Amino acid sequence: MFEHQFDIDATASEAELRDLVTRCERLKAAAAAAQARATALWAAQRRAAEEEAGVPARKRGRGLASEIALARLDAPVCGNQHLGFANALVDEMPYTLAALEAGVLTEYRATLIVKQSACLTLEDRRTLDAELCADQQALNGLGNARIEGAAAAIAARLDAAAVVERKNRAAQSAGVWTRCAPNGMVYLTALMPLSQGIGVYATLKREADTTGGDGRPRGQVMTDTLYERVTARPADTPSPVALNLVLADTTLFGEDDSPGWVDGYGPVPAVVVRDLVSDAVADEDAKATLRRLYRHPSSGQLVQMESKARLFPKGLAAFIGLRDQTCRTPYCNAPIRHHDHATPHRRGGKTSGCNGLGACQQCNLAKEAPGWTVRTHDSNGRHTATYRTPTGATYHSTAPPLPGPTRRHSVATAGTPPPTEPPPAPPTTPPHHHYPDPPDDTA
């Protein structure tokens, strides 16, 4: 519908470049407003079409949020946020939308206002909208914290009970997550009620205060205490490799320095994974098991498995989990919760590695909505899934290669349950050649 081309004049002055940066920021805000209008209109058209088609009310709009997220190159789990933001701005908060279109508010600050008003009635939300954003000049110079604080203060004054109820419901969103940190470290994040979180931190801080003098930094004392309280294991003993630690056999025996991969974490330097395995194997109290898997010599992906059962057997499910690592929907990084048939079993889809996909719960439900199709295929050892949405857009997802040196195929996995039968002998095919027929029990 519209297209912008930006050419930067290399001879422009600093003042001209500053003006260009400012105009780009305002353009981004105006584009966000247009995107919200288009999203709300899309949702309205979908509702009307499904109502006319006789779709039950409880099923209308199913899968639309995932479509919206994919169109924005975002994780499907963010789709409901984008849709809710658009509907709120267009249908309920005209002053906030106008400030966004004018570039007075950024998209993020408009999101903060919508978020703080979410617990209010429609009437109160419109009151907040007018009180905070009707005068656009008053918004100039307000940063994220002041915008959010002003919206929260108005919401609390308009309906204190609703704000309290929202805080009570927030406890249901408690959880624990991990994400990668540099140098073989990990961030462990816990979201919990205020009193519990402060209590945990105070306990760890008190332990650090009373343990001074043993040579450990305060931060290490706190993390060691947390580990010991949660796992009931001393922090200075090797951890059981109960996680899925994947590495090439050549890396395990020191023949190369290809990184390993830890399920739920990501790439890990070779020296770190070797230390993890060697410490666990040397400690009689720690448990570590090895399972041989075989990856394609060109693509580096795990080779095929198949079952005659409708549900994915444990070994095949583990195979898919190790191959896909996270939900296979494009842009989704959520943990795998379901092992799903790309072509449904009821339509003749096989229970196989090729037709199997790792999926989070939301993406698995979204693809069951009318108009969604998913097709998978293996080409030269590369497993690809093609998603087609009800509006005809297509998105592609390719399984990541497993760790190991280029064009090698033997992979050792520490921490997966030991197989019920002895693992198959390594294939006699030279390591730089393709398999004629991949083994059936590779995971």
Structure tokens, 231? 């796992």
Contacts of 128 (CB under 8 A, 6+ apart): 113, 116, 117, 120, 151, 154, 155, 158
- Averaged pLDDT for residues 199-220: 87
Nearest-5° angle of CA 79, CA 80, CA 86? 90
Alpha-carbon distance 385 to 367, whole Å? 13
Decide: 275 and 183 in contact? Cβ < 8 Å: no
- Averaged pLDDT for residues 411-418: 42
- Averaged pLDDT for residues 175-195: 84
Alpha-carbon distance 443 to 295, whole Å? 11
Alpha-carbon distance 313 to 269, whole Å? 32
Q: 93-107, 163-177, 293-307, 367-381 — which is least confidently predicted?
A: 293-307
Crossing angle (nearest 10°) for helices 64-71 and 79-92: 100
Decide: 307 and 313 in contact? Cβ < 8 Å: yes
Alpha-carbon distance 160 to 239, whole Å? 48
361: exposed, middle or buried (Cβ count in 10 Å: 0-12, 13-18, 19+): middle
Q: 10-14, 119-123, 171-175 — which is least confidently predicted?
A: 171-175
Alpha-carbon distance 179 to 59, whole Å? 35
Residue owning tokens 């780009």:
24
- Determine the pLDDT at residue 423: 42
Per-residue CA distances from 94 to 89, 119, 156 (Å): 6, 18, 21
**Helices and strands (H and E) in the chain: how many:** 14, 14
- Averaged pLDDT for residues 187-211: 89
**pTM of this prediction exceeds 0.85:** no
Phi and psi, residue 56, nearest 5°: -55, 145
CA atoms within 13 A on the CB side of 15: 0
Alpha-carbon distance 294 to 162, whole Å? 56
Decide: 377 and 70 in contact? Cβ < 8 Å: no
Is pLDDT at 101 greater than 60 in this prediction?
Answer: yes
Residue owning tokens 């990084």:
333
Per-residue DSSP letters for 194-258?
Answer: HHHHHHHHHHHHHHHHHSTTSS--HHHHHHHHHHHHHHSS-TTSPPP--S-EEEEHHHHTTS---
Phi and psi, residue 112, nearest 5°: -60, -40
Is pLDDT at 326 greater than 60 in this prediction?
Answer: yes
pLDDT confidence of 162, banded at 50, 70, 90?
confident
Percent of the chain past pLDDT 70, that is, above it, reads 78
Structure tokens, 10? 């290399």
CB atoms within 10 A of CB 111: 23
CB atoms within 10 A of CB 430: 8
Torsion angle of the four alpha carbons 191, 195, 200, 206, in this order, in degrees rounded to the nearest 10:
150
Phi and psi, residue 295, nearest 5°: -110, 155
Decide: 335 and 178 in contact? Cβ < 8 Å: no
Is pLDDT at 174 greater than 80 in this prediction?
Answer: yes
